[in-house]
């Protein structure tokens, strides 16, 4: 490990010497207009890609590009530039850096099942290229970031709070909208090879390009690691491997005199995770290393989209998506189990068909009216095979099967009003009809008032507020799943009701020096009815998903963004979250009260950049019962660098390196009822070579 630190230091010194001339030319005057003029000129350049979203814009708020300054909700945006400067980290790492967003990994290491909580709740809607991408067979409404690699993501938009219902149901915490990378410009190619301790490596190949008529992007990525999970009882778990193979393509062509874009986006991933944990004692179910247990996950997603701008007053889009997932879990006999012949094999397949269309009418220059339709049809089919022996009172073979489906139709309308580029008002409603959960109306409204700060040049004050109602439908797993573990039975509950939420937030953003420095502070308040929760009977032998009467989540969030020049960017945020199950008066599970995060980018020249991220969170309870233990507070620090070594005939060669868990902390994301903590890996690193080849313009004609 010491050799690696020395190696990184040498790289930094080498890069610094190459950048010295650039640093000398940097003007630290925050009022310098050069960067502003450059940025405005870039924004005015016509895009060769249909519907490309600029860095200072957001798309998912209204399903068309608009300025971030006009949005009345609390929003975070992760750009492709941010992702590249961090060396294409995992999606979980990117999401955990955003304010108010917390990723809980159940086993600690990469590839383990994760839950994403936004403002305290895991009721978060995720879309990829506009199509819903959370699987119907999940144990609770939410998303799984562990199966998605960030190399193929163009940008991530996070809309916080109930206003996230602009994307549909199951968005009471908010909406996370991702876009797949597109090719542009002459033919280019990316090659990457990384390695690290804990048996980690990543191999990647991608080709891309595009012009006014067409564009294409195709990538293949293989990521593997031995894991690195530890427990308080067993120390290092050696069979915690994670293996992910992902294929992504995005092809588009312009039709109808370049006024329309026809596009197909395909995603496939196969991920295997060795579980590394089992039981050896039937009395207290304490943990041990189970060498043969593993899980397989297959994701297939295909999206066909059509966007058409007939004229300046009217445009529309239509998208059809198929998302299929198969999740297989294998618990195999290992000879040392409390039940040596115990075997459990479960296979859950789920499919969602999603169609959506939206029409946008620019009635006046200051008024845009949108109307649309959304269809979601879900299916689930599961089988299980369990074999047990004498400790249960005789040999038993249990075979199970369950299935279910649901269909939902939405119609929605939104109206956006711009009054003199100072007051932005947005309101709308969605009428939802679900075959199992009835009909609901979910309204939303937001407003932003942007004014010049009194007697302060190049400064603006923005007051914002949003309000909305959201409906979270139970997953098909919660309604139809049954499982028999001998000591614990999960019982299906087809009578679950949809969870309802009403929430609002308000805040103020103060910016200086043409938004090079900004402060944001806000308050949020969410109230839940028929909250979905997993409940046990008195002797903890039967579990079932049930509705509890009510719950609440409220808190404060603040963020400072400092970007004085193009070579440095710093973001620091703090979130306080107070959650309560109003039936038991206990905290809601998995929700830290305090969270502090910061991300810093330093790019003194084109040949070199460094970054550092810090995340700290207080303890979290594991369920809504007061008996369950809480995990401890942690501080997670990650640093890294990218160095351009040389260029040769259109190929740029970079060296990358990252150090994870720099403080070597015992980071626990999960704690069992018998006080066994699962820890993330200790200090570890990755380094590798990245090559980008660009075909010269004259050779591409």
The residues that bridge with 262 in the sheet, in sequence order, are 253, 306
pTM above 0.85, yes or no: yes
Could you tell me the CA-to-CA distances from 91 to 40, 46, 95, 152, 437 in Å, in that order? 30, 30, 6, 10, 32
Question: Is 155 within 8 Å of 80 (Cβ atoms)?
Answer: yes
Q: Indicate the SS3 state at residue 66.
A: strand
Q: Is the dihedral of CA 665, 670, 675, 677 positive or negative?
A: negative
Of 347-351, 572-576, 580-584, which gets the smallest average pLDDT?
580-584
Q: Is the dihedral of CA 509, 588, 164, 107 positive or negative?
A: positive
Mean pLDDT of 196-216: 94
Mean pLDDT of 444-472: 94
Q: What is the pLDDT of residue 47?
A: 40
Q: What is the pLDDT of residue 332?
A: 80
Contacts of 539 (CB under 8 A, 6+ apart): none
Assess whether pLDDT exceeds 70 at residue 279.
no
Question: Tokens for 447?
Answer: 């407003």
Q: What is the pLDDT of residue 393?
A: 55
The residues that bridge with 185 in the sheet, in sequence order, are 210
DSSP state at residue 61:
T
Phi–psi pair at 79, nearest 5 degrees: -95, 170
Question: Is 129 within 8 Å of 51 (Cβ atoms)?
Answer: no
Mean pLDDT of 518-540: 85
Q: What is the pLDDT of residue 247?
A: 97
Could you tell me the CA-to-CA distances from 465 to 27, 331, 335, 449 in Å, in that order? 37, 49, 60, 9
What DSSP assignment string belongs to 627-651?
A: TS-BPPPEEEEEEEEEEEEEEETTE
Assess whether pLDDT exceeds 80 at residue 302.
yes
Q: For the chain, list the domains and their CATH numbers.
A: 2-699 (2.40.170.20)
Contacts of 53 (CB under 8 A, 6+ apart): 59, 65, 155, 179
Q: Which of 34-38, 514-518, 538-542 has the highest mean pLDDT?
A: 514-518
Q: Tens digits of per-residue pLDDT, 75-112?
A: 999 999 999 999 888 888 899 999 999 888 777 788 88
| C-beta atoms surrounding 292 within 10 Å | 15
Task: Return the closest-CA partner of residue 269 out of 319, 227, 326.
Answer: 326
Q: What is the pLDDT of residue 473?
A: 87
CA distance linking residue 114 with residue 619, whole number of Å: 17
Question: Tokens for 107?
Answer: 């086993």
Q: Which of 27-36, 160-169, 269-278, 633-642 has the highest mean pLDDT?
A: 633-642
Q: Tens digits of per-residue pLDDT, 422-439?
A: 999 999 999 999 998 899
Contacts of 455 (CB under 8 A, 6+ apart): none
Assess whether pLDDT exceeds 60 at residue 188.
yes
Assess whether pLDDT exceeds 90 at residue 583.
no
CA distance linking residue 407 with residue 411, whole number of Å: 14
Q: What is the pLDDT of residue 228?
A: 84
Q: What is the pLDDT of residue 441?
A: 95
Task: Return the closest-CA partner of residue 663 out of 640, 641, 634, 687.
Answer: 634
Question: Tokens for 40?
Answer: 């405005």
Assess whether pLDDT exceeds 60 at residue 118.
yes
Q: What is the pLDDT of residue 298?
A: 93
* 450-459: b (≥16 Cβ within 10 Å) or e: beeeeeeebb
pLDDT band at 50 (very low <50, low <70, confident <90, very high): low
Q: What is the pLDDT of residue 276?
A: 72
Q: What stretch of H or E contains 107?
A: none
Total count of residues recorded for the chain:
701
Q: What is the pLDDT of residue 623?
A: 66
Between the CA atoms of 539, 540, 541 and 546, what dihedral angle is there, to the nearest 10 degrees? 120
Q: Tens digits of per-residue pLDDT, 304-361?
A: 999 999 998 999 999 999 999 998 988 887 766 556 677 888 898 999 999 999 999 9
Mean per-residue pLDDT over the chain, rounded: 84
**CA atoms within 13 Å, Cβ hemisphere of 254:** 16
Q: What is the pLDDT of residue 339?
A: 63
Q: What is the pLDDT of residue 627?
A: 56
Mean pLDDT of 400-412: 90
Question: Is 89 within 8 Å of 97 (Cβ atoms)?
Answer: no
Say which residue, 39 or 195, is predicted with more confidence.
Answer: 195
Mean pLDDT of 192-196: 94
Question: Is 501 within 8 Å of 468 (Cβ atoms)?
Answer: no
CA distance linking residue 509 with residue 504, whole number of Å: 17
CA distance linking residue 425 with residue 449, whole number of Å: 9
Assess whether pLDDT exceeds 90 at residue 113.
no
Q: Indicate the SS3 state at residue 337.
A: coil
pLDDT band at 489 (very low <50, low <70, confident <90, very high): confident
User: What would you report as the CA-atom Rg of the chain, rounded to the nearest whole angstrom?
Assistant: 25
pLDDT band at 56 (very low <50, low <70, confident <90, very high): confident
Phi–psi pair at 337, nearest 5 degrees: -70, 160
Say which residue, 477 or 433, is predicted with more confidence.
Answer: 433
Assess whether pLDDT exceeds 80 at residue 687.
yes
Q: What is the pLDDT of residue 355?
A: 96
Question: Tokens for 246?
Answer: 């992902």
Mean pLDDT of 133-153: 79
Q: What is the pLDDT of residue 604?
A: 94
CA distance linking residue 420 with residue 452, whole number of Å: 13
Assess whether pLDDT exceeds 80 at residue 173.
yes
Say which residue, 549 or 224, is predicted with more confidence.
Answer: 224
Q: Which of 51-60, 123-132, 280-289 has the highest mean pLDDT?
A: 123-132
Q: What is the pLDDT of residue 688?
A: 95
* Extended beta strands in 396-491, E state: 396-419, 423-434, 438-452, 460-472, 483-484, 489-490
Q: Which of 39-48, 290-299, 671-680 has the highest mean pLDDT?
A: 290-299
Say which residue, 528 or 25, is predicted with more confidence.
Answer: 528
What DSSP assignment string belongs to 128-167?
A: ETTEE-S-TT-SSSS--GGG-BGGGEEEEEEEESGGGGGG
CA distance linking residue 166 with residue 154, whole number of Å: 21
């Amino acid at each position: 490990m010491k050799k690696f630190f020395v190696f990184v230091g040498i790289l930094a010194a080498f890069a610094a010497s190459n950048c010295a001339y650039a640093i000398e030319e940097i003007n630290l005057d925050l009022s310098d207009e050069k960067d502003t003029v450059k940025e405005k000129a870039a924004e005015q350049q016509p895009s060769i890609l249909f519907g490309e979203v600029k860095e200072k814009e957001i798309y998912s708020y209204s399903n068309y590009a608009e300025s971030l300054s006009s949005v009345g909700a609390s929003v975070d945006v992760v750009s492709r530039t941010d992702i590249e400067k961090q060396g294409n980290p995992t999606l979980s790492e990117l999401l955990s850096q955003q304010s108010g967003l917390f990723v809980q990994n159940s086993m600690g290491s990469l590839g383990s099942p994760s839950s994403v909580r936004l403002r305290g709740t895991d009721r978060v809607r995720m879309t990829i290229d506009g199509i819903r991408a959370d699987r119907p067979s999940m144990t609770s409404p939410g998303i799984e970031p562990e199966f998605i690699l960030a190399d193929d993501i163009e940008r991530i938009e996070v809309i916080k709070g109930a206003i996230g219902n602009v994307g549909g149901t199951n968005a009471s915490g908010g909406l996370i909208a991702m876009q797949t990378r597109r090719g542009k410009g002459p033919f280019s190619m990316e090659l990457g090879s990384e390695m690290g301790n804990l048996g980690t490596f990543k191999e990647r190949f991608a080709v891309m390009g595009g012009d006014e008529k067409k564009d294409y992007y195709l990538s293949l990525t293989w990521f593997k690691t031995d894991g690195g999970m530890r427990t308080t009882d067993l120390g290092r778990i050696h069979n915690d491997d994670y293996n992910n193979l992902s294929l992504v393509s995005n092809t588009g062509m312009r039709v109808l005199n370049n006024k329309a874009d026809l596009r197909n986006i395909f995603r496939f991933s196969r991920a295997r995770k060795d579980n590394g944990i089992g039981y050896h004692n039937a009395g207290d179910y304490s943990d041990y290393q189970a060498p043969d247990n593993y899980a397989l996950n297959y994701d297939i997603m295909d999206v066909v989209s059509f966007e058409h701008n007939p004229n300046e007053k009217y445009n529309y889009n239509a998208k059809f998506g198929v998302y299929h997932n198969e999740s297989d879990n294998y618990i195999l006999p290992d000879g040392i189990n409390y039940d040596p012949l115990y075997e459990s094999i479960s296979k859950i397949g789920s499919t969602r068909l999603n169609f959506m269309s939206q029409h946008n009418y620019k009635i006046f220059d200051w008024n845009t009216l949108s109307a649309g339709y959304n269809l979601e049809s879900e299916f689930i089919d599961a089988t299980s095979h369990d074999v047990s022996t004498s400790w249960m009172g005789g040999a038993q073979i249990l075979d199970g099967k369950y299935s279910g489906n649901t269909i939902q139709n939405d119609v929605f309308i939104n109206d956006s009003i711009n009054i003199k580029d100072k007051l932005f008002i947005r309101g709308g409603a969605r009428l939802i009809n679900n075959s199992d959960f009835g009909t609901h109306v979910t309204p939303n409204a937001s407003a932003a008032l942007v004014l010049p700060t009194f007697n302060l040049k190049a400064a603006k004050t923005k007051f914002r507020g949003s309000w909305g109602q959201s409906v979270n439908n139970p997953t098909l797993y919660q309604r139809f799943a049954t499982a028999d573990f001998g000591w614990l039975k999960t019982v299906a509950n087809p009578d679950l009701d949809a969870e309802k939420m009403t929430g609002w937030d308000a805040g103020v953003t103060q910016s200086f020096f043409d938004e090079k420095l900004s402060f944001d502070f806000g308050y949020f308040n969410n109230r839940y009815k028929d909250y979905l929760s997993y409940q046990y009977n008195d002797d903890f032998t039967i579990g079932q998903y049930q509705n509890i009467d009510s719950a609440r989540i409220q808190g404060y969030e603040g963020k400072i963004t400092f970007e004085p020049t193009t070579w440095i960017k710093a973001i620091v945020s703090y979130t306080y979250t107070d959650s309560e199950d109003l039936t038991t008066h206990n905290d809601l599970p998995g929700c830290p009260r305090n969270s502090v995060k910061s991300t810093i980018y330093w790019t003194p020249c084109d040949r070199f950049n460094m970054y550092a991220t810090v995340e700290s969170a207080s303890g979290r309870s594991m369920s809504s019962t007061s008996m369950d233990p809480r995990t401890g507070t942690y501080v997670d620090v990650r640093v890294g660098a990218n160095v351009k070594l040389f260029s040769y005939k259109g190929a740029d060669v970079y060296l990358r390196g990252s150090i994870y868990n720099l403080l070597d902390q015992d980071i626990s994301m999960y704690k069992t009822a018998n006080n066994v903590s699962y820890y993330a890996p200790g200090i570890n690193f990755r380094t590798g070579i990245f090559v980008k080849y660009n075909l010269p313009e004259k050779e591409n004609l």
